[in-house]
Amino acid sequence: MAVLHLNPENFEQTVSNGKVMVDFWAPWCMPCQSLLPTIDALGEELEGTVTVAKVNVDENKALAVKFRVMSIPTVIFFVDGVEKERLVGAYPKEKYLEIINNL
C-alpha cells in the first residue's frame, strides 16, 4: 500500500521511523479532494524511501487537536517522530518534493 491511513493506534509507530509525510484531510473538504491525486502520486513515487500517510480529521479528532491542525488540508513532515515542517493548503507536487528533499 503506497499511502497509509493513520489513526491513534498506529500514528506514533508510523511517524517515529524515518521521513514521514502526513496529510490531515476530510472527505467534505474540496481543497483536500483536489490534493488527493498528488498525495497518491507521492505515495507511489516515494514508496520505500518516505512514508506517505493520511489522517481523516473527522474520524481522528484527537490527532488533529494534538497536532494543532486548524485548517485542512495540512501536511506535516516528520523525521524520526519530530515535526520538521508543515504546509497548510493545497500545493503542487513539486513543493512537497522540495520539502522532502530538504529534510
- Please pick, among 22, 32, 50, 100, the residue that the annotation labels catalytic: 32
Cα-Cα-Cα-Cα dihedral of 71, 10, 21, 102, to 10°?
Answer: 130
Cα-Cα-Cα-Cα dihedral of 94, 75, 87, 45, to 10°?
Answer: -10
Element (H, E) at 76: strand 74-79
Give dist(CA 79, CA 21) in Å, integer.
Answer: 9
- Please pick, among 29, 41, 79, 103, the residue that the annotation labels catalytic: 29
Would residue 32 show up in a list of annotated catalytic residues for this protein? Answer: yes
Would residue 59 show up in a list of annotated catalytic residues for this protein? Answer: no
HSE-CB for 37 with a 13 A CA cutoff? 3
Q: Which amino acid is at 80?
A: D
Q: Annotated catalytic sites, by residue?
A: 29, 32
